[in-house]
Amino acid sequence: MPKLSRFFVKSALVYLVLGALIAAGALSGAAPLPPAFLALRPLSWHLMTVGWATQLIFGVAFWMFPHLSKDSPRGDERLAWAVFWALNLGLAIRAIGEPAAALWPQALPMALLPLAAMLQVAAVWIFIVITWPRVKELGR
C-alpha cells in the first residue's frame, strides 16, 4: 500500500471515530438538545460521508485502480497529495467554522465556510481529473 493511501485510510479512520462520537451527541433524540449539539448535526454527517467514506474510497482507489503506465503507475503523485491536504484542511476548517458560525455568526467564523467549500470542491475535482484515466480496461 503506497504512503499516500496509508495517509488517506488512517485519516479516514480518525474521521470515522470523530464522526461517530459527534453523531452520538448531535443526533441523539434521548433528550432536548442544546443549540451547541444541534449546530454539530451537519458536521457529523459530513465527517462520516466525506471524512470517512469518501476519503477511504480515495485511498483505496489511489492504491488499487489500474496503473497508468510502468513509468508513472499512479500519475502525478503531487496532485494526489494536494487532494489529501485540500480535502483534510477543508474538512478541518469546516469542523471549526460551521458550528462556530451557527453559534456566533460573526465575520471570522462566517468567512471560514467559503474557504472550506473551495478547498473541498478543489480536492474532489482534482481527484476526479487524476483518477479518470485510471478507470480503464487493462489493469496491472
Which chain residues interact with another protein by CB under 8 A? 49, 53-54, 57, 60, 65-66, 94, 97-98, 101, 109-114, 116-118, 120-121, 124-125, 128, 131-132, 135-137, 139
3-class DSSP state for residue 33? Answer: coil
Question: CA distances (Å), 117 to each of 31, 69, 86, 93, in order?
Answer: 32, 33, 10, 9
Contact 52, 16 (CB under 8 A): yes
Cβ atoms of residues 123 and 83 within 8 Å? yes
Residue 74 beta carbon to another protein: minimum distance, rounded to whole angstroms = 15
Beta carbon nearer to another protein, 30 or 69: 69
Smallest separation (angstroms) from another protein to the CB of 21: 21
Q: Please tell me what DSSP assigns to residue 134.
A: G
Query: Which class for 44: exposed (0-12), middle (13-18), buried (19 or more C-beta within 10 A)?
Result: buried
CB of 108 to another protein, least distance (A): 10
Q: Shortest approach of another protein to residue 66 CB, angstroms?
A: 6
CB closer to another protein, 32 vs 139: 139
Closer residue to another protein, CB minimum distance, 30 or 111: 111
CB nearer to another protein: pick between 37 and 65: 65
Give the helix/strand (H/E) hosting 89: helix 77-103
